[in-house]
Amino acid sequence: MVRSMVQSKLRVMFLLLALAAAPAGCRRLRGAREGAPSLVKDISFVKSPPMDTLVLGPAREIMLPDIRKDIPLIDGILNDPCWSKSGRAKGFVLRRGDVADVAKALDPKAKREDYARLLGLKFNGEGDLLATQQTQARLCYGATGIYVAFDCEDSQIVARINRDDGPILEHDDCVELVINTRRNVFHIAVNPRGVTYTSRVVTATDQPTGPERWHPGITVATGKEKNTWQCEMAIPFTSLEIKAPNEGSFCGLNIGRRNRPAVKHDKYEMEEISTWSPAGYNILEPRSEGIMFFRQGPPAMIAYLDPGQPGFGYNRAVIGVRNRANAETKVQLRLITFDKAGAIIESAAKELVLPARKETVSTLNYKVPWGSKFCCLNAVLFARQEQEKESLIAQEEVNLKLPTEALSLTLDKRAYPRGTPSAGGRIELGVGALRPHGRAYGGRWQGRPLPR
């Protein structure tokens, strides 16, 4: 009796383990057609329907002109000719998380449209509240680096910290600059004294690190006037670990400002932290970034390519496509999988109609051959022209992080009734992919014994 109960419990535990390890697409579905593409040798795979296309709001953009003939003097005085023709970032808004916290404290039932009335602030026309102390940033680039100037309204300048990499983010007025090169996320902050805080997050590795200390060779200078202060900086491309960009290249960008002391109103007190591109609580959030183009960018672009957690067989990639034009645009999105030798493994395509000034999130399936050690995904965007001609608009590439180890589960045949196919065998799961060898039949998992 006891032995029978133990055996039943072990069968249930083993079944749950197998079903949890196999992703939804790996489980045999009723009505699945025979001969469907195989995920691995012994698992039938049924393609799931594509995710509904999502359309998101417009992202902040700024175009940087090439001013290599008018390089500014970094002295904290914004009188150089290049600043008059630089790209401008203005209309800074309060962080959405801070605004929601204060508004909910005043009225727990408050909705977003009530925030401006409750806090006595102004909307910017896009659903965010404008900062009371505004900031304007100007950006341009030359042959060797990026040049940035800040002009900050400030009725009470606070600058206590006088050592680099000190806690200026917690105690001082400061400006912030976040640049995402797709390999690293760089964070620079400067207070009115010209004291800097710098860090970076390395995103090009299997396990992103940081934020870690980063000591770039940047040049910074600040200046003060009545109720305002200014900051100029020069950031070499070598400090960002990138080459001089080509025309149309882009990076992720956000610009922030921390203003102290806290703004006091009749009913509340709130620390005023504002950003150029709207953010929740953290300016380093990738989804809160705007885009920095080096000269004129493409009419549409691939904002991001997310391969998910790839495993052997079919997987699904999420791709964000942003239409920068003021009119609806028709494009074709292609997702191509390459092997180490550059040969095409598989290609998938989808026609998209992009709403004006919006971001569309779509999905495409891709295949990783069993046992592959390297695969590369390439998303390509084409525009349809007259006479069925195509023109390349943009492309994005990412190397897949494939499972390299295996987890073996050894089954004791004494714990299973006689006749169980997997008794005394092993089941091997790819770490990261969790694709088991075997097949599920009618809710019962039959593992394929491997050689001991």
Per-residue pLDDT tens digits for 39-51 = 222 222 222 233 3
pLDDT score of 445? 32
Stated as kind and residue range, the H or E segment containing 210 is strand 209-213
Residue 100 burial by Cβ neighbours in a 10 Å radius (0-12, 13-18, 19+): middle
Q: CA 332, CA 348: separation in Å to the nearest integer? A: 10
Q: CA 294, CA 419: separation in Å to the nearest integer? A: 68
More confident: 386 or 64: 64
pLDDT score of 380? 87
Query: What pLDDT digit, counting tens, does each position of 114-147 carry?
Result: 888 888 889 888 889 999 999 999 999 999 999 9
Tokens of 191: 């207070």
The fraction of the chain above a pLDDT of 70, given in percent, is: 73
Tokens of 203: 């995103």
Tokens of 272: 């005023």
pLDDT score of 57? 53
pLDDT score of 210? 66
pLDDT score of 54? 52
Least trusted range by pLDDT, from 9-13, 173-177, 341-345? 9-13
Query: What pLDDT digit, counting tens, does each position of 380-431 carry?
Result: 888 865 555 677 777 788 888 776 544 444 444 444 444 444 444 444 444 4
Residue type at 211 in one-letter notation: P
Q: Does the predicted TM-score (pTM) go above 0.75?
A: no
pLDDT score of 23? 38
pLDDT score of 406? 44
Residue 292 burial by Cβ neighbours in a 10 Å radius (0-12, 13-18, 19+): buried
DSSP structural state of residue 413: G
Residue range 89-114: average pLDDT? 89
pLDDT above 60: residue 81: yes
pLDDT above 60: residue 296: yes
Q: CA 372, CA 402: separation in Å to the nearest integer? A: 8
pLDDT score of 120? 85
Q: CA 48, CA 364: separation in Å to the nearest integer? A: 11
**Which residues make beta-bridge pairs with 397?**
378
Q: CA 228, CA 152: separation in Å to the nearest integer? A: 5
Helices marked H in 267-329 — which ranges?
A: none
Contact 345, 337 (CB under 8 A): yes
Residue in the structure block whose two tokens are 């680096």? 145
195-202's contacts with Cβ under 8 Å and 24+ in sequence apart are 195/159, 195/161, 195/162, 195/163, 195/164, 195/166, 195/168, 196/164, 196/165, 196/220, 197/164, 197/165, 197/166, 197/168, 197/169, 198/165, 201/284
**Per-residue confidence at 33, pLDDT binned at 50, 70, 90?**
very low
Q: CA 200, CA 211: separation in Å to the nearest integer? A: 5
What domains sit in the chain, N to C, each tagged with a CATH number?
A: 10-32+408-447 (no CATH), 66-294 (2.60.40.1190), 299-399 (2.60.40.10)
Q: CA 282, CA 288: separation in Å to the nearest integer? A: 9
Least Cα distance to 66 among 230, 242, 246 occurs for 246
pLDDT above 90: residue 10: no
Least trusted range by pLDDT, from 13-22, 121-130, 151-160, 276-285? 13-22
More confident: 40 or 78: 78
pLDDT score of 209? 65
pLDDT above 80: residue 227: yes
Q: CA 242, CA 212: separation in Å to the nearest integer? A: 19
Contact 291, 323 (CB under 8 A): no
Non-local CB neighbours of 40 within 8 Å, separated by 6+ positions: 312, 313, 370, 435, 437
Of these ranges, 6-15, 80-89, 94-103, 443-452, the one predicted with the greatest mean pLDDT is 80-89
